[in-house]
């Protein structure tokens, strides 16, 4: 499957503005994440504190967790949900949305995702004061909903999507690792469980350069004292990220995203094995980073980058009857190959929020798509593929979002939770 790729400079600019606004509007934050999950399994709640906008009941993750690689593969889905302090069912999350939009619909997503990116003076640790405060702010916002905070680490694209020269730049990589250390230190301070999605697309670009990440140079040993014994390679980048998570933030669970570029897809699972990401905690699974209607409309305004040949099979709307290609059964088979091959559960991320329509295309903020409808009405298929959760979010500011989906997310998630898909 081909996934649309795009620079996120506009998204990061909005995040920086949002970070400042959060300080002004919510100076006291939302408190910690203590309390019990009890029997709460709904994304909807009437127990929201009118003064803070926060949920009255938080979540509690276990004090200690058996390393997933010591558990039978079949038990790892439920084990991850338990480690996150969540019910033993397919988790449903949101990302790239303001806290106020979630509050407006009285939603309680299981997972609440945000991007963090950049290297240097304008990077995410310095969006707020003190250094690294943005991570705490997002974690507090997640606590408002009893959600697991998820951080999509997107630092490698700081000089442009696919610019791999950063790996050879000593100063850049030193700054890169300093930011990673800040993140995991902040998550240690936070003290509750969290998810980290590590560098979308980067691994695909790296595979295009070299099919063996152990032979692909990247600064690690001299620029990062935490991994001074490692080789300078892309494989060590992955290994060092996992090591630092374990050292600084043992309640941070890390996942790596296959890029699923058409030209490398056949060998991507083997590449991930060479990276050693079977030692991580989950695999980040993707569908498409745009609503399919945006592709159909070849929409390019505001940097949407949706001009693609609609004749390409992988850029057609998926067949919900699973008769013609592309379809959902094909997608779940690919996803399961990573779950089985790496022995890790899956979390779908940045899943489009478009509303189904018989008319192709649509308009900005209202493009059509059918993935949310299918996923939430066939949740057991995600679980059978190895899934533990799915996060819905727009991949660009022009795409359908929580404020423009006509209540689709609320309606479908409520229906799903009336008969949730239980994790094995």
The average pLDDT across 298-312 equals: 89
pLDDT in tens, 224-253: 999 999 999 999 999 999 999 999 999 999
Residue 340 has pLDDT above 90, yes or no: yes
The average pLDDT across 42-69 equals: 67
pLDDT for the residue numbered 70 = 86
pLDDT for the residue numbered 48 = 53
111-142: string of b/e by CB count within 10 Å (b at 16+)?
A: bbbbbbbbbeeebbbbbbeeebbbbbbbbbbb
Q: For residues 237 and 231, what is the distance between their CA atoms, to the nearest angstrom?
A: 9
pLDDT for the residue numbered 309 = 79
pLDDT for the residue numbered 57 = 57
pLDDT in tens, 126-141: 999 999 999 999 999 9
pLDDT for the residue numbered 4 = 40
Residue 377 contacts residue 353 (beta carbons within 8 Å): no
Higher pLDDT pick, 198 / 308: 198
pLDDT for the residue numbered 52 = 58
Residue 167 contacts residue 222 (beta carbons within 8 Å): no
Helices (H), 88-144: 99-104, 133-144
Q: How confident is the model at residue 175 (pLDDT cuts 50, 70, 90)?
A: very high
Q: For residues 422 and 343, what is the distance between their CA atoms, to the nearest angstrom?
A: 19
Q: How confident is the model at residue 312 (pLDDT cuts 50, 70, 90)?
A: confident
Residue 352 has pLDDT above 50, yes or no: yes
Residue 23 has pLDDT above 60, yes or no: no
Q: What is the pTM of this model?
A: 0.90
Q: How confident is the model at residue 37 (pLDDT cuts 50, 70, 90)?
A: very low
Higher pLDDT pick, 53 / 312: 312
Least confident span in 23-27, 104-108, 286-290? 23-27
β-pairing verdict for 148-154 and 91-95: unpaired
Q: How confident is the model at residue 313 (pLDDT cuts 50, 70, 90)?
A: confident
Residue 422 has pLDDT above 70, yes or no: yes
Q: Say what the alpha-carbon torsion angle 409, 411, 414, 417 is, to the nearest 10 degrees.
A: -70
Residue 29 contacts residue 3 (beta carbons within 8 Å): no
284-307: string of b/e by CB count within 10 Å (b at 16+)?
A: bbbbbbbbbbbbbbebeeeebbbe
Q: How confident is the model at residue 63 (pLDDT cuts 50, 70, 90)?
A: confident
Residue 18 has pLDDT above 70, yes or no: no
| Secondary structure letter of residue 323 according to DSSP | S
Q: For residues 351 and 15, what is the distance between their CA atoms, to the nearest angstrom?
A: 19
Q: For residues 361 and 19, what is the distance between their CA atoms, to the nearest angstrom?
A: 33
Mean pLDDT of the chain: 89
Residue 12 has pLDDT above 50, yes or no: no
Residue 161 contacts residue 7 (beta carbons within 8 Å): yes
In percent, the amount of the chain with pLDDT more than 70 equals 87
The strand pairing partners of 114, in sequence order, are 151
Q: For residues 323 and 308, what is the distance between their CA atoms, to the nearest angstrom?
A: 24
The strand pairing partners of 387, in sequence order, are 346
Residue 389 contacts residue 382 (beta carbons within 8 Å): no
CA dihedral (175, 176, 178, 179) positive or negative = positive
Domains and CATH numbers, the chain: 9-418 (3.20.20.80)
pLDDT for the residue numbered 31 = 31
Q: For residues 217 and 234, what is the distance between their CA atoms, to the nearest angstrom?
A: 6
Residue 67 has pLDDT above 90, yes or no: no
Helices (H), 129-201: 133-144, 170-190
pLDDT for the residue numbered 38 = 31
Residue 13 has pLDDT above 50, yes or no: no
Q: How confident is the model at residue 409 (pLDDT cuts 50, 70, 90)?
A: very high
Residue 222 has pLDDT above 60, yes or no: yes
The average pLDDT across 84-113 equals: 96
Nearest one of 87, 121, 11, 133 to 421, comparing CA atoms: 87
All residues at 6 or more sequence positions from 319 whose CB lies less than 8 Å from its CB, including other chains:
325, 326, 327, 328
């Amino acid at each position: 499957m081909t996934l649309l790729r795009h620079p996120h400079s506009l998204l990061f600019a909005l995040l920086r503005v949002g970070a400042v606004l959060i300080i002004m509007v919510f100076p006291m934050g939302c408190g910690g994440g203590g309390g019990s999950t009890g029997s709460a399994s709904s994304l909807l709640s009437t127990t929201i504190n009118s003064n803070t906008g926060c949920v009255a009941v938080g979540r509690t993750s276990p004090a200690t967790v058996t390393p997933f690689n010591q558990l039978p593969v079949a038990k790892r889905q439920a084990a991850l949900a338990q480690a996150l302090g969540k019910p033993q069912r397919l988790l449903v999350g949101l990302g790239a949305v303001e806290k106020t939009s979630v509050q407006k619909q009285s939603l309680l997503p299981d997972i609440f995702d945000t991007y963090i990116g950049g290297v240097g003076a304008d990077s995410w640790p310095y969006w707020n004061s003190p250094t690294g405060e943005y991570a705490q702010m997002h974690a507090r916002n997640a606590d408002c909903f009893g959600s697991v905070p998820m951080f999509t680490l997107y630092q490698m694209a700081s000089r442009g999507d696919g610019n791999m020269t950063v790996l050879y730049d000593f100063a850049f990589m030193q700054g890169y690792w300093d930011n990673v250390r800040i993140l995991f230190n902040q998550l240690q301070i936070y003290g509750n469980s969290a998810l980290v999605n590590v560098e979308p697309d980067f691994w695909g670009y790296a595979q295009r350069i070299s099919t063996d990440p152990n032979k692909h140079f990247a600064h690690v040993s001299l620029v990062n004292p935490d991994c001074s014994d490692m080789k300078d390679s892309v494989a060590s980048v992955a290994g060092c990220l996992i090591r630092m998570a374990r050292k600084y933030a043992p309640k941070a669970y890390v996942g790596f995203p296959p890029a699923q570029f058409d030209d490398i897809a056949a060998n991507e699972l083997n590449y991930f094995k060479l990276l050693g990401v079977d030692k991580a905690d989950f695999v980040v699974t993707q569908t498409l980073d745009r609503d399919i209607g945006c592709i159909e409309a070849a929409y390019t305004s505001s940097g949407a980058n949706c001009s693609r040949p609609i004749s390409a099979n992988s850029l057609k709307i998926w067949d919900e009857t699973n008769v013609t290609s592309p379809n959902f059964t094909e997608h779940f088979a690919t996803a399961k190959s990573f779950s089985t091959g790496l022995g890790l559960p899956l979390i779908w991320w940045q899943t489009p929020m478009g509303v189904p329509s018989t008319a192709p295309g649509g308009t900005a903020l209202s493009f059509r798509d059918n993935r949310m409808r299918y996923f939430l009405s066939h949740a057991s298929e995600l679980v059978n593929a190895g899934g533990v959760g799915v996060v819905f979010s727009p991949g660009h500011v022009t795409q359908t979002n929580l404020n423009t989906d006509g209540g689709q997310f609320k309606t479908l998630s409520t229906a799903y939770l009336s008969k949730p898909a239980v994790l094995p």
